[in-house]
Structure 1
Amino acid sequence: MRRDTIYDRDLDRVPANHQPLTPLAYLDRAARVFPDHVAVIHGDLRRSYAELYARARRLASALAARGIGRGDTVAVLLANTPAMIECHYGVPMTGAVLNTLNTRLDSAALAFCLDHGEAKVLITDREFSRIAGPALEQAGVTPLVIDYDDPEHTGPGERLGSLDYEALLAEGDPAHDWAMPDDEWDAISLNYTSGTTGDPKGVVYHHRGAALLALGNVVTGGLAQHPVYLWTLPMFHCNGWCFPWTLSIVAGTHVCLRQVRADAMYRLMAEHGVTHLCGAPIVMSLLLNAPEAERRPLPHRVAFFTAAAPPPEAVLSGMAEAGFAVTHLYGLTESYGPAVVNAWHDAWDALPPDEQAAKKARQGVRYPVLEGLDVRDPETMEPVPADGTTLGEVMMRGNVVMRGYLKNPTATRAAFAGGWFHTGDLGVKHADGYVQLKDRSKDIIISGGENISSIEVEDALFKHPAVAAAAVVAKPDERWGETPCAFVELRPGGQASAEDLVAWCRERLASYKLPRHVIFGELPKTSTGKVQKYLLRERAREG
C-alpha cells in the first residue's frame, strides 16, 4: 500500500510544473532559437526553421478550419519530401493522428488502411496516383483528397483531388495558435505493420513515446547541434524512426531525397556535408557497389545507422573503408522504430576480426529511453539464462512501446501478456546482457527494410491451380538483407515453371513481396503434416 509522505502534500501537479511531453515543442524551440538556420533542403529549395514552423502552423490552421481535430486520421502517401516533414508537425498540431502510408503497398492494402484508420483526409503525391486512385475507388471512406505536386518529380502521375497542397497551406495562418495535446497519452501517429495473417495491424503511437524516442535518437546517435541528415530511410517507416522530430531537438538540416540512388546519395553527402543517415542493408549495398564515376569524396566520416539483419563483416569493412561509421540497431514498428543498439566498447577494437564480427552481429542493449529489454520464456515469463545459447522470446517494456493495435484488443492483449511487449522474435542473452536474435517466430521476411509476411506470399502461390503446397522462408541476400524463397510442391500432372509462378504472384502481390527464388520438390513435414520450415531455412541459406 502506498504510504503518504511529506512529499505528497501541497506539492501538486499544476500547469506551471507539468506539461505533456510532445515532439511538437521541439520545432517551436528550434524556430525561436535558430529561426534562420536551414531546416530543409530539397533540390534547389532551402527553408529555414522559421519557415518550416510557419508552414506547419499553416497546415494545422487549414486542417482545423476544415473540421479536422482530436482523434481524426490524416493519411499521407508521400515520398521523403518537405511536405512529409511538415505533416509530422502540422497534422498533430490539430490533435489529429498522422497515418504515413507505405508507398510500396498495392491498392488493395492501401484501401484497407484508409478504411481501418477511418481517414478523413488523404494527402497524396502525384507520383503515387496509379495506386492511390484505385485505392480510393476500393475504399469505403471518402476522405478529402489533397494533391502534392513536388517540383522534383518529373515523371508520370495525375491529380486525384480538387485541392492542391500549396493552396491548402495558403488558406492557413502562419501564426496559428496550435494547441498542445490534452494528454501526452494522446495518439500522435498510426503506422501499419505487416503481420502473418494477411491484413496489417495499426500500431498507435502517443506523444510521450514519440518525444522520448526522438531524444533517444539524439543520445544514441551522438547528434551534436546542427547535424545534416540525409533522408535515405522512408519517412513512412515508423515515422522515419522518429527522426522528423529528432532533428528539431538539435536544429538539424533535413536533406530530402525522393529516390535512393547511389549517385544522388554521394552527391548530396558531398555537397551538403551530411553527417548522418539511416537505412536497410540495401542502402549500404548501393553505396558500396556504386561505379567509380558515381562516387564523391566524403567531407568527413559519416554515421550510418542500420537495422534488420546484422551486416556481414565484409560489408562493415567496406563501409569503414568508404568513410562510414556503421551502428547496428534493432526495433519494431511497435517500439517507434529502433529501441535497441549494439553499443560498441572501445576495448573491442583490439579483438581479432572474427571476434569483432561476433560482437557486431548482436542486436545489443536497450536505448536509454527504453525501460526494459530481456529474453524470456514466453510460457513462464521467466528470464532465460544469460548463457548465449538458451533460446527465448525478446521482450520489451517502457514508454517507447506502442499504445496498442487499433481496433484489435485481442492482438493488443496478446502482445502485452505478462506485462511485457512480446516482439515475436526469438533470441539469446549473452553474459554481458547483450541480446542477439536467432529466428523470427512470426516468419516475417525483412527485405530492403520492408516486412513481408511469408503466409501472404504462400497464399498467393496456393491459389495457382498447379500448386499443391508451398512454403516461403527468408533467403539471405547481400543486397536486400533477405528475400522471399519459395519451396513448391506441384499437383500430380501439374505444370508450372518458376517464371510462371512469379508472374502469377505479380498479379496478386506488391513487387517487393515476389519470391526471388522458386525451388520445386516435396516439402519436409512432421508426422502431423506440418511443414518443417527450419529445414527449408537451412536449404535457403545453403543456396
Structure 2
Amino acid sequence: MEGVMKCSANYVPLTPITFLERSAIVYSDRVSIVYGDVQYTWKQTHQRCIKLASALSQLGILPGDVVAVLGPNIPALYELHFAVPMAGAVLCTLNVRHDSAMVSVLLSHSEAKILIVDYQFLQIAQGALDILSKSKAKLPLLVLVPDSKQASAISSPGILDYESHLLAMGRLDFEVRRPKDEWDPISLNYTSGTTSSPKGVIYSHRGAFLNSLAAALLNEMGSMPVYLWCVPMFHCNGWCLTWAVAAQGGTNVCQRNVSAKGIFENIAKHKVTHMGGAPTILNMIINSSPGERKALPGKVSVMTGGAPPPPHVLHKMEELGFNVTHSYGLTETYGPGTVCTWKPEWASLPRDAQAKIKARQGLQHLGLEEIDVKDPITMKSVPHDAKTMGEVMFRGNTVMNGYLKNLKATEEAFSGGWFRSGDLGVRHPDGYIELRDRSKDIIISGGENISSIEVESVLFSHPAILEAAVVGRPDEYWGETPCAFVKLKDGFNANAEELIKYCRDHLPRYMAPRTIIFEDLPKTSTGKVQKYLLKEKAKALGSISKPGSSKL
C-alpha cells in the first residue's frame, strides 16, 4: 500500500526484555523479589540483570550461545530469565530432578558454554562434568549460586561465584544485546520426562513475549500482583510467568521447596494474589491438615495445568477460597495454550457440575491463533458432539520454533501445517475441547477405547484416595485391561475389591480396573505422573486372564 514505510520508528522486534526495562521505571521502588529475608526492588533487579549480562559477555558468551541453569525457584533463576537474553544468549533451564548422567547428556546436546548451578545441586553438576570430561566435549564454565545464609565467596578452583564474581565484574553501562529478529531463540526447554527421551524445544523472543501477555490475561493479573512460585521456573520458563509478572510490575515470592504449610504461610505473610501449580499441588492443598492452613487474606487466583484436574479437586479448592483457572498446553506451546474461560450461565449449575465443566481444557488463549481436534489421517475436524475423538492440534505464534538438532521430529510435529500434540480429545457443542488421553495412554480392551483420565477421575472421587494413575495391563483375552496405581490418604483404608466395586458403580463395567496396586506414584518435578514407568510395572505383572475367560 502506497505510503507505508517499515523502519525503527514503527517496527521493533518483540522481546520480554522490555518488560523488565519498563517495570524498572514504572515500579522502580516496588518489591520485585522476595526470598526469605532477601528482597529486591524492580530497579535493583534491572541493575543486577544488566550486570549479569555484562559478566556473561566478559566471559565470552556470544549471541546464540547457550547458558544452562540448574536450580530451584530462587532469585538467581528469576534474574537469569532476563540477564541471559540481555547478553544475546539462549537460556536453558534444567530439571532439578535429573541425575548427573541426564544433565551431562543435555549439556552436551545443547552445547552450553556456562552452567550456573545452585549449591544444593552442585554434586549433580560436578558429576555431569566428570562424565563429559571423559568425552571430547568442551566443558562449560561452572558458576555456583551459594547458600544466601552463608558467606558468598568460594575458593574452589575452576568455579566462579554468582555474587562475588559475576555480579562484581558486571558493568552497569553494558549495552543490552537485543534480538535482531524477534524469531531469534530466547530459551531452550527440554521436555519434562513423561517420556524417556527429552527433546530440546526452542522458544523465540516473539513467542515468549506473546505468551507472557496471554498468561497475564488468562490469570486475570492486574498491575502489581503478588505471585507465589509453586510452578518450577525451569518448566516452560515457569509457564512464561517469569516474564509475565515483570510485565505487570508484580512481586515474585520465591520458595525453594513447596509444601502445603509453606503455601499457606506465604499467602498470609505476603498477601499473595496469584499462584499456579499442577493438580498434585492442588491435591496437596486440599489434603493439608487444619494445623497447616491459614485463612486467606483475599481471593487467590490459581492457574492449574500439566494434567487434567479431577473435578472434585477443583470443587474443594473453591471451598477453601481459591479461584482456579484450568489451562492446558505442552512444552512445545510455551506452557499454557488454552484456557477454560468461565461462562456466567454455569453459575446456576450444581457445584459438582460446575467443577466438571471447569475441568475441560477450553479454547485457545488470545496469543494463539487456533486449536482444533482433528482426525490425524484426514486432518478433518471432528464433530462437536463430545464423543468423537481426534488429536488435539495447535496453530499460532506461541508454538515452538522446533526441536534442537532434530529436523525429522520437527517436521513430524508440524505435519499438515499444525502442531500435533499427541493428545486425544473431543469437542463439545459449545466448542470447548476436553482431553480424553494421550494417544499412547488410551487403553484398548476388547476393541473398546478406555480413557485413563476418566477412570482416574472416578478414583480421585473416592474419599480414601490421594493419588491415582491408570495404565493398561496385558490381558490374553481382552488385549489389555485397566490397572490402577493408587496412594491412599494418611489415616484412610481401602482394599482392592472395594475400589474395583466403587469404579464399577460409577463407570461402565469394562472400564473398571481389574488390578489395583498401592504405592507412591513416580512423578516428574512438574507433578506429572511418569506413566511410562507404571506401564513397565504393569507389563512386568504379566497377563491376568487366559483365553476363554468371561468378561467382567
Q: State the secondary structure of the residue aligned to 1:294.
A: coil
> Is 1:135 the counterpart of 2:128 in the alignment?
yes
- Indicate the residue corresponding to 2:142 in structure 1: 145
Which amino acid is 2:145 matched to? Answer: Y
Which amino acid is 1:48 matched to? Answer: T
Matches within 5 A, 1:255-404: 255-404=253-402
- Indicate the residue corresponding to 2:509 in structure 1: none
Q: State the secondary structure of the residue aligned to 1:263.
A: helix
- Indicate the residue corresponding to 1:436 in structure 2: 434
Q: State the secondary structure of the residue aligned to 2:203.
A: strand
Amino-acid identity (%):
46
Q: CA deviation at 1:358?
A: 3.2
Q: State the secondary structure of the residue aligned to 1:239.
A: helix
Partner Cα distance (1:196, 1:40) in 2 = 31
Partner Cα distance (2:51, 2:397) in 1 = 31
> Is 1:179 the counterpart of 2:177 in the alignment?
yes
127-136 or 73-82: bigger deviation: 127-136
Q: CA deviation at 1:200?
A: 1.1
- Indicate the residue corresponding to 1:121 in structure 2: 114
> Is 1:192 the counterpart of 2:190 in the alignment?
yes
133-142 or 378-387: bigger deviation: 133-142
- Which segments of structure 1 move beyond 6 Å, counting only runs of 4 or more? 157-160, 509-512, 524-527
Q: Which runs of 5+ in 1 are unaligned?
A: 1-6, 446-472, 490-497, 528-537
- Indicate the residue corresponding to 1:99 in structure 2: 92
> Is 1:69 the counterpart of 2:55 in the alignment?
no
Partner Cα distance (2:470, 2:116) in 1 = 32
Contact 1:282-1:480 at 8 Å conserved across structures: no
The total of aligned residue pairs comes to: 480
- Indicate the residue corresponding to 1:163 in structure 2: 160
Q: CA deviation at 1:480?
A: 7.8
Contact 1:126-1:159 at 8 Å conserved across structures: no
Contact 1:485-1:517 at 8 Å conserved across structures: no
Q: CA deviation at 1:222?
A: 0.9
Q: CA deviation at 1:179?
A: 2.2
Residues 134, 170 of structure 1: CA spacing in aligned structure 2 closer, same or farther, 3 A cutoff? Answer: same
Q: State the secondary structure of the residue aligned to 1:91.
A: helix
| Aligned with residue 542 of structure 2, among 515, 522, 528 | 522
Residues 273, 517 of structure 1: CA spacing in aligned structure 2 closer, same or farther, 3 A cutoff? Answer: farther
Q: State the secondary structure of the residue aligned to 1:235.
A: coil
Residues 342, 29 of structure 1: CA spacing in aligned structure 2 closer, same or farther, 3 A cutoff? Answer: same
Contact 1:227-1:250 at 8 Å conserved across structures: yes
> What is the Cα-based RMSD across aligned positions, in Å?
3.3
Which amino acid is 1:292 matched to? Answer: P
Q: CA deviation at 1:481?
A: 6.0
Residues 525, 398 of structure 1: CA spacing in aligned structure 2 closer, same or farther, 3 A cutoff? Answer: farther
Q: State the secondary structure of the residue aligned to 2:113.
A: strand
Which amino acid is 1:95 matched to? Answer: G
Q: CA deviation at 1:308?
A: 2.9
Matches within 5 A, 1:31-70: 31-70=24-63
What TM-score results when the alignment is normalised by the length of structure 2?
0.81
Residues 377, 268 of structure 1: CA spacing in aligned structure 2 closer, same or farther, 3 A cutoff? Answer: same
Residues 417, 94 of structure 1: CA spacing in aligned structure 2 closer, same or farther, 3 A cutoff? Answer: same
Contact 1:133-1:160 at 8 Å conserved across structures: no
Q: CA deviation at 1:312?
A: 2.5
Q: CA deviation at 1:361?
A: 2.5
Partner Cα distance (1:252, 1:49) in 2 = 9
Partner Cα distance (1:153, 1:341) in 2 = 43
Q: State the secondary structure of the residue aligned to 2:187.
A: strand
329-338 or 294-303: bigger deviation: 294-303
- Indicate the residue corresponding to 1:231 in structure 2: 229
Partner Cα distance (1:30, 1:444) in 2 = 46
Residues 159, 87 of structure 1: CA spacing in aligned structure 2 closer, same or farther, 3 A cutoff? Answer: farther
Which amino acid is 1:222 matched to? Answer: E
Partner Cα distance (1:431, 1:259) in 2 = 42
Q: CA deviation at 1:214?
A: 0.4
Residues 257, 510 of structure 1: CA spacing in aligned structure 2 closer, same or farther, 3 A cutoff? Answer: closer
Q: CA deviation at 1:175?
A: 3.6
Partner Cα distance (2:235, 2:546) in 1 = 37
- Indicate the residue corresponding to 1:459 in structure 2: none
What TM-score results when the alignment is normalised by the length of structure 1?
0.82
323-332 or 355-364: bigger deviation: 355-364
Partner Cα distance (1:484, 1:21) in 2 = 43
Which amino acid is 1:257 matched to? Answer: Q
Q: State the secondary structure of the residue aligned to 2:388.
A: coil
Partner Cα distance (2:218, 2:526) in 1 = 34
Partner Cα distance (2:544, 2:421) in 1 = 27
Contact 2:312-2:355 at 8 Å conserved across structures: no
CA shift digits 1:246-299 (9 cap, x unpaired): 011110000001000111111110010000000011211222222222211110
Q: State the secondary structure of the residue aligned to 2:44.
A: helix
Contact 2:312-2:352 at 8 Å conserved across structures: no
Partner Cα distance (1:485, 1:387) in 2 = 26
Partner Cα distance (1:482, 1:32) in 2 = 48
- Indicate the residue corresponding to 1:111 in structure 2: 104
Residues 153, 245 of structure 1: CA spacing in aligned structure 2 closer, same or farther, 3 A cutoff? Answer: farther
- Indicate the residue corresponding to 1:457 in structure 2: none
Partner Cα distance (1:481, 1:402) in 2 = 32
Contact 1:388-1:430 at 8 Å conserved across structures: yes
304-313 or 237-246: bigger deviation: 304-313
Which amino acid is 2:33 matched to? Answer: V
- Indicate the residue corresponding to 1:451 in structure 2: none
Q: CA deviation at 1:10?
A: 3.6
| Aligned with residue 13 of structure 2, among 4, 12, 20 | 20
> Is 1:87 the counterpart of 2:107 in the alignment?
no
Q: CA deviation at 1:444?
A: 10
